[in-house]
């Protein structure tokens, strides 16, 4: 049975989280026969993360973020803005050749979504997988504004937001499983023309996105959710998970990369 490393839930800053994901990916690329990684983490302080191609100048209200003590960080992956506050974030870091996720981006999304779905269903969340993107509505700068290929939804409302990048034969996919949504705060952090537009977009957003505490049949802890998602990965992918920690090389590389993710040059590059 194939073995993956499992890095249990830990809390870091937004810059540290992005640096750790990238560091694991880089070290994995350099190391032959290295094991794929499934990692879980949280964010402290809360952070607004931007997709790689998003415009900071056009979409972020810097003053509002400062007043609310919200960090702003740019992800290496695409997609739209996510407010990381009350959530369990997962990341999957594997070579493109890994048999359990090989194929196109859409195919790997499906496999990972199936594993996440197993975990969510096991804790009583009636989620399902969306098989096709809604391309008729452009949405807003917020990630959870509309489902995309093989996202997880409850009654049509997006529950998990994921993004993937591929670089030099490596895959990094990470995503947010929101336990509680402060959507009003999210829309205060985004730069919008006026309050009327803000209220209208917020109303539309609430009709298309949800958090776990809106759809679960009973309260679920992060530890329980993480455990069931691990079971989902084991079952769907036919793998074994071995509890692990960051290696010395990964820690060193992450320390080097955190400066990049903390820098204005990176965060405000678009």
pLDDT of residue 79: 87
pLDDT of residue 166: 94
* Average pLDDT of the chain, as a whole number: 91
pLDDT of residue 135: 44
pLDDT of residue 146: 41
pLDDT digits (tens, 9 = 90+) for 169-206: 999 999 999 999 999 999 999 999 999 999 999 999 99
What are the residue ranges spanned by the domains of the chain? Answer: 2-267
Q: Are 91 and 39 in contact (CB under 8 A)?
A: yes
Q: Are 62 and 55 in contact (CB under 8 A)?
A: no
List 83's β-bridge partners, or say none.
48
Nearest 5 degrees, angle CA 89-CA 91-CA 95? Answer: 175
Report the pLDDT averaged over residues 18-45.
Answer: 94
pLDDT of residue 254: 98
Angle (deg, nearest 10), helices 14-30 and 248-262: 130
Name which of 234, 266, 261, 250 is nearest 115 in CA terms. Answer: 234
Q: Answer whether residue 259 shows pLDDT above 70.
A: yes
pLDDT of residue 132: 60
Range name among 60-69, 107-116, 148-157, 227-236 with the lowest pLDDT average: 148-157
Integer angstrom CA distances of residue 193 from 57, 65, 187, 196, 198 = 13, 17, 12, 8, 8
pLDDT of residue 145: 43
Report the pLDDT averaged over residues 228-239.
Answer: 97
Q: In what order do the strands lie in the sheet with 47-50?
A: 71-74, 47-50, 82-84
Under the banding of pLDDT at 50, 70 and 90, the label for residue 144 is: very low
Range 2-267 classified under CATH 3.30.930.10: yes
Q: Tell me what percent of the residues of the chain surpass a pLDDT of 70.
A: 93
List 230's β-bridge partners, or say none.
none
Q: Tell me what percent of the residues of the chain surpass a pLDDT of 90.
A: 82
pLDDT of residue 150: 77
Name which of 225, 252, 232, 230 is nearest 241 in CA terms. Answer: 230
Q: 71-74 and 47-50 as β-strands: parallel, antiparallel, unpaired? A: parallel
38 vs 150: which has the higher pLDDT: 38
Q: Answer whether residue 54 shows pLDDT above 80.
A: yes
Which residue is catalytic, options 65, 143, 210, 230?
A: 143
Report the pLDDT averaged over residues 111-133.
Answer: 91
pLDDT of residue 130: 83
230 is catalytic: no
Report the pLDDT averaged over residues 80-94.
Answer: 95
133 vs 189: which has the higher pLDDT: 189
Report the pLDDT averaged over residues 60-74.
Answer: 96
Nearest 10 degrees: Cα torsion 72, 77, 82, 88 = -100
Report the pLDDT averaged over residues 45-69.
Answer: 95
């Amino acid at each position: 049975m194939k073995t993956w490393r499992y890095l249990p839930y830990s809390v870091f800053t937004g810059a540290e989280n992005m640096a750790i994901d990238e560091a694991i990916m880089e070290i994995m690329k350099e190391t032959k026969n290295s094991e794929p990684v499934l990692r879980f983490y949280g964010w402290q302080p809360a952070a607004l993360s931007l997709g790689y191609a998003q415009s900071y100048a056009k979409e972020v209200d810097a003053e509002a973020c400062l007043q609310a003590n919200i960090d702003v960080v740019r992800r290496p992956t695409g997609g739209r803005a996510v407010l990381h506050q009350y959530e369990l974030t997962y990341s999957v870091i594997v070579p493109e050749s890994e048999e359990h996720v090989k194929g196109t981006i859409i195919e790997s999304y499906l496999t990972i979504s199936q594993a996440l779905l197993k975990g969510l269903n096991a804790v009583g969340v009636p989620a399902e997988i969306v098989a096709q993107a809604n391309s008729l509505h452009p949405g807003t700068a917020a990630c959870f504004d509309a489902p995309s290929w093989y996202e997880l939804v409850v009654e049509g409302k997006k529950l998990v937001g994921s993004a993937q990048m591929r670089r030099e034969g490596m895959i990094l996919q990470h995503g947010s499983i929101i336990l509680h949504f402060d959507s009003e705060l999210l829309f205060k952090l985004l730069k919008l023309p006026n309050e009327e537009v803000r209220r209208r977009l917020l109303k539309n957003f609430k009709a298309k996105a949800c958090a776990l505490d809106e759809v679960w049949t009973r309260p679920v802890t992060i530890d329980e959710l993480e455990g069931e998602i691990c079971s989902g990965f084991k079952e769907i992918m036919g793998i074994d998970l071995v509890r692990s920690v960051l290696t010395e090389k990964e820690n060193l590389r992450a320390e080097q990369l955190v400066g990049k993710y903390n820098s204005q040059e990176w965060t405000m590059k678009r």
